[in-house]
Amino acid sequence: MSADGEPINVADYERLASEVLDPGALGYFAGGAADERTLRENVAALARWRLRPRVLVDVAEVSTRTTVLGEPAMPILVAPVAFQQLAHPDGEAGMARAAAAVGTVMCLSTLATARPREVAAAAPDTGLWLQLYCFRDRGVTRALLDEAIEAGFRAVALTVDAPRPGRRERDLRSGFRLPSELSVPSVVEATGARDPISVADILRLVDPALGWADLEALVADSSLPVLVKGVMTAEDAVLAADRGAAGVIVSNHGGRQLDGVPATIDVVGEVADAVGDRMEVLMDGGVRRGTDVLTALALGARAVLVGRPALWGLAVAGEQGARRVLELLRDELELALALCGCPVPEAVSRDHVRRA
C-alpha cells in the first residue's frame, strides 16, 4: 500500500478483496481444485523465469499496443470470470467499461450475471468475446451465441477443460451456493430454476460428450473466430489448428479443474512452437505483474488473460477498481518493455528470458 493507503499492485488489491468479500464468495473466487498445487504453481512457476534485458536500445517511445485476432488491444485481456455481481454490483458491465477504458478486450463468461446484449449496451466501446460452455441443452448454447453475435461480440472462446466440475474443496467446506437473488441468465434458461444452486451443479449442465467434431462444426457454423480455451499440450493445439480454430488459450482453468497439471507458463512455449505460425496463442493463469506478461510474450504468447486480478479490483472498488488493476498491469508492462530494450510487444523474443 502507498503512504496514503492506496493499493499499488495486484497483491494489495487481493488483500483488500479478502476483507470485503463474503467468505463463501472469497473461497469460490480464490480457490482451486483438490490440494491447490496447480493454483499455487501457476504463480510460482513464473518466478522461475529470468528476464534478459538488452541495453542501448532506443526506448524513448514505448507502446503496449498490439493486435489480438487482428483487433487493436493491449496484450493483457480480461479473462472470463463467472458471477461477477457476486463480487460487486457493477458486475460484468463495470468490468467491460474498465476494459474499454484501457483499450483492451473483455471475455464474458457463459455464467455471467448479465446477458451479452446488456453488457454490450453498457459498454459499447469494449471489444467483447464470449466464453462458451456447451450445455447438454444445445438450444440454450445456440441462443446465447446468437445473442452475442447480434450484440456485436467479436470472438468465441470455447472452454474445453470442464467436461466435469473439478473438486473445489473450499466450496465443499463452506457449502457455497449462489444466492437466490443473483440471477445467472444462462442457468435460468438451462434449468428453469432460480433456487440457490451449487457451482458443481451448474457445471454439470455442461455436455461431457463434447468432441473435436463439435469444435469443427462450431468453427464452420460461426461467423466469429473461435478460440479453444483449456489447451495444455502441443498435441491438442495441433488438433485445434487442424479443425480451423483461430487460436488457443493455454489454460488450466486457474488451477480449478485438474490439480497436478503444469503451470501454464511452462506449457505455452511448446504450444507456440507447435502452432504459433498457424494461429494465435494466448495464455492465462498466475499473471500478477507486468513482468509476468512480458515472460509470456517472450515464450510465444500473443497476449495473456487475467481473471482474479481484475476481479479483486472489481470487488474492492467496482468498475474503478478493475480499471485501476488493468492500468497497473499495463504500466508495469510498459516499464518492463523499456528496461528490456523492447519498444513494442512484438520486439519481445525468446532471447529475453531464460529458466532460473
What pLDDT shows up at residue 195? 66
Alpha-carbon distances of 290 from 74, 75, 179, 286, 331, rounded to whole Å: 12, 10, 35, 12, 7
Percent of the chain with pLDDT over 70: 99
Q: Is residue 204 part of a domain?
A: yes
Q: Is residue 1 part of a domain?
A: no
At residue 188 the predicted structure's pLDDT band, cuts being 50, 70 and 90, is confident
At residue 207 the predicted structure's pLDDT band, cuts being 50, 70 and 90, is very high
Q: Is residue 5 part of a domain?
A: no
Q: Is residue 17 part of a domain?
A: yes
Is residue 189 scored above 90 in pLDDT? no
d(CA 109, CA 112): 5
Number of domains in the chain: 1
Q: Is residue 224 part of a domain?
A: yes
Q: Tell me the β-bridge partners of 251.
A: none
What pLDDT shows up at residue 193? 66
Q: Is residue 49 part of a domain?
A: yes
Tell the residue number behind the cell numbers 480455451, with chain if given: 229
Cell readout for 10 is: 495486484
Q: Is residue 3 part of a domain?
A: no
What pLDDT shows up at residue 262? 98
Query: Which residues are part of the catalytic machinery?
Result: 253
Q: Are 228 and 130 in contact (CB under 8 A)?
A: no
DSSP β-ladder status, 303-306 and 280-284 = parallel
Percent of the chain with pLDDT over 90: 91
d(CA 65, CA 326): 14
- Calculate the average pLDDT of the chain: 96
More confident residue, 314 or 183: 314
What pLDDT shows up at residue 40? 98
Condensed to tens digits (0 to 9), the pLDDT of residues 158-178 reads 999 999 999 999 999 999 999
Backbone angles phi, psi at 240, to 5 degrees: -65, -45
Residues 6+ apart with CB under 8 A from 147: 115, 116, 117
More confident residue, 2 or 53: 53
283: domain range? 10-355
Specify burial of residue 326 (Cβ count, 10 A radius: 0-12, 13-18, 19+). buried
Cell readout for 334 is: 510498459
Tell the residue number behind the cell numbers 494489495, with chain if given: 12
d(CA 254, CA 229): 12
Alpha-carbon distances of 118 from 86, 144, 158, 188, 319, rounded to whole Å: 17, 12, 21, 16, 16
Tell the residue number behind the cell numbers 446484449, with chain if given: 117
3-state secondary structure string across 213-274: HHHHHHHHHCCCCEEEEEECCHHHHHHHHHCCCCEEEECCHHHCCCCCCCCHHHCHHHHHHH
**Could you tell me the CATH number of the domain that includes residue 111?**
3.20.20.70
Condensed to tens digits (0 to 9), the pLDDT of residues 59-80 reads 999 999 999 999 999 999 999 9
Cα dihedral 338, 339, 342, 345 in deg (nearest 10): -70
Q: Is residue 148 part of a domain?
A: yes
Handedness of CA 252, 106, 214, 136 (dihedral sign): positive
Backbone angles phi, psi at 238, to 5 degrees: -65, -45
| DSSP helix/strand/coil, 7 | coil
Instruction: Work out the average pLDDT over 16-34.
Output: 97
Specify burial of residue 356 (Cβ count, 10 A radius: 0-12, 13-18, 19+). exposed
Condensed to tens digits (0 to 9), the pLDDT of residues 208-236 reads 999 999 999 999 999 999 999 999 999 99
Give, rounded to a whole angstrom, the gap between the first and last alpha carbons of the chain.
Answer: 29
d(CA 167, CA 352): 38
Instruction: Work out the average pLDDT over 274-302.
Output: 98
At residue 200 the predicted structure's pLDDT band, cuts being 50, 70 and 90, is confident
What pLDDT shows up at residue 196? 64
Q: What is the DSSP string of 138-199?
A: HHHHHHHHHHHHHTT--EEEEE-S-SS----HHHHHHT--B-TTS--HHHHHHH---S-B-H
